Structure 1
Amino acid sequence: MVSKATVKRLSSQTQQYAREPKQNRSKASLERLLSSASEILAERGYNEFTLQEASKRAKVSIGSIYNRFSGKDDLIREVHARELGVMEVETAVLINELRRKELQLRQLVPAITKEFGMLLKRHSKILRPLMGIASVDEVVAKRGKMHFAQNVGDFERLLLERKSEIRQENPERAVSICFQIIYASLSRHLGLGTEPEIIGEGDWDTLLDDLSRVSLHFLLGHPDQLKAEPSATG
């Protein structure tokens, strides 16, 4: 579990849209504002998010919000940066914990699938509206893509530490394909970038188990089995 101190430190490093507070009281009020804004965005989405509600919930004045942000979109961009920072810390912790266990590929794939899935699930309520915003906000989209590539890359590099156990001609490509399938399937279940009615479709634990089995079957399969068979006519 990531400590609050670590999260707070990382959050301060990712604040690029807010004017940097210098007093401890100001820093505390900014932290309350970002936390409240994140909660409201997760609960109501972008369209129903208002600075007035954020001000009321965080117990900060509208004037102080405009003193730090140019408006609603800048505040949400800061919430986005803060959320990605928290996920980055959690990912680093997970990677280190899994690496210390020195698991073989057969144990590592299910472990990574589960931990990556739980990471997405923990943050799914805020990721849903943020991913919707990314479709119309170039700043959010660019930062999100960069963060996603970095986090997925960390998990892929961990898997490739067991490269000698992967029975594919191109282990890097094989691992990348597996993660594309894992991410797409988990995102669909959690409603990240999909229609609301799809959220929660199917059993979560069964999905994790199925994804682990499919990935292992692919990574451990012999390359010759995947080559196209010659046609009967030659």
Structure 2
Amino acid sequence: MVNAAEKLMIKRGNDDFTLTEVSKTGKVSIGSIYLRFDSKDDLIRAVHARVLARIEHDQNTMLNDLKDRDQTLDDFAFRFVDAYADLLKSYSPVLRPIMLRAANDSTTSTLGRHSAEKLSTEVRRHFLYFEGEFGRSDHHRLAETAFRMIYCTLARYLGLGSSPEAANEGNWEELKEDLAIMCAAFLRAKPRP
């Protein structure tokens, strides 16, 4: 039934479906849905928790694959942006409806924020391997800002969050390349005199 609800969310782009539709899609009775979940909201939150667990696993795998410390900041920026962008894109069909719901559901919002903060901390730690190449002294702020710029740009392209109408503007491969270049340049930038 969680699989069925996730499929319906992806198909519709929102959580505007009935438990009867979940029952038909998942080939389970309405009664069995109510045995596991008190409400449709609880079912949707279960979908969200499961999706976040998959994303977290895939993000950890991605970051572990990028741990080659012999590379330069430029190499890491290119490899990270490419891998993270593709991972985010692969989850965008299910993230879109979850993020729409998060705007009005504090439980969903809190879970998503907690997951995003964990990723941000890990990415910042990876960027800090290259702090010797940073142009300014506030390394933690710079690494956090670099990740925020990457995430916000990718999320906008993928139509996640508040501006789904902006999805798919421009060339995906060029966007990834430009983001990696901008990220490394931002981190290397010297302070203004």
Taking structure 1 as the reference length, what is the TM-score of the superposition? 0.79
Moved more, 114-123 or 138-147: 114-123
- Which of these two proteins has the greater Rg computed from alpha carbons? 1
1:199 alignment counterpart: 167
Post-superposition shift, 1:100?
A: 3.8
Count, aligned residues: 193
For 2:64, the equivalent position in structure 1 comes to 96
Name the counterpart of 2:149: 181
1:140 and 2:108 matched: yes
Deviation (angstroms), 1:47: 5.0
Q: Which amino acid aligns with 2:4?
A: S
Amino acid at match of 1:141: S
- In the alignment, which residue of structure 2 is the partner of 1:80? 48
Within 2, Cα distance between the matches of 1:58 and 1:38? 10
CA distance in 1, matches of 2:28, 2:68: 44
Identity level (%)? 36
Query: Are residues 1:212 and 2:183 paired?
Result: no
Unaligned runs of 5+ in 1: 1-32, 228-234
8 A contact 2:158–2:167 mirrored in 1: yes
Q: What is the match of residue 129 of structure 1?
A: 97
Whether the 8 Å contact between 2:14 and 2:96 is mirrored in structure 1 is no
Does the alignment pair 1:190 with 2:158? Answer: yes
- Whichever residue aligns with residue 98 of structure 2, its letter is L
Deviations along 1:93-120, one digit per CA (max 9) or x if unpaired, are 0111110464221100111111111121
Q: Cα deviations across residues 19-51 of structure 1 (Å, max 9, x unaligned)?
A: xxxxxxxxxxxxxx2112111011114453211
Equivalent in the alignment of 2:76:
108
Segments of 4+ moved more than 4 angstroms? none
Select the structure with the greater relative contact order (CA < 8 A; seq sep ≥ 6).
Answer: 2
Aligned mates of 1:156, 1:119 — CA distance in 2? 18
Give SS of 1:110's match.
helix
